[in-house]
Amino acid sequence: MNQFSKDEYAAEREKNQYFPFTSKLDWEMASFILRSDLSMADIDEYLNLKFVRCAELLPAPPQWKYQRVTTEFPMTNTLQIFYWDAIECLQSLLSHPLLAASFDFIPHKVYKSAECAV
């Protein structure tokens, strides 16, 4: 495992655990295609379909990040915390085309009874 962590692409994998793919979705697609019985011509035909090319234009979801944590006490393994950046998550939600009509930023007064609404 130490040898795997110290190869020429270790720095890239720290930023993206699915390197050389851009995301988990790309990795899953490649894994599926490689395990299928499709010929190279069939794979090329699939990757050239219009919906596949359109999917590449969609904004990427927030990526997992991690931070190494040092402790006072020696540990055999490095402690890592995995998280999503809250700002990136909000940006992703607010810019999602299917959710655009779901947000309302205009304040509304909510009454407890119908008498106050008149």
Give 45-91 pLDDT, tens digit per residue: 887 887 776 666 666 788 889 898 888 888 888 888 999 999 999 98
Instruction: Give pLDDT, residue 76.
Output: 86
More confident residue, 115 or 28: 28
What residues form DSSP beta bridges with 80? 68
Q: Which of 106, 57, 62 is nearest to 83 (CA)?
A: 62
Residue with tokens 């697609």: 29
The mean pLDDT of 80-108, rounded to a whole number, is 86
pTM given for the model: 0.43
- Rounded to whole angstroms, the Cα distance separating 10 from 19 reads 9
pLDDT at 1 over 60: no
Angle (CA) 74-84-1 rounded to 5° is 45
pLDDT at 117 over 70: no
Ordered by start, the domain boundaries in the chain are 2-102
Return all residues near 70 (Cβ < 8 A) that are at least 6 apart: 79
Least confident span in 7-21, 60-74, 92-106: 7-21
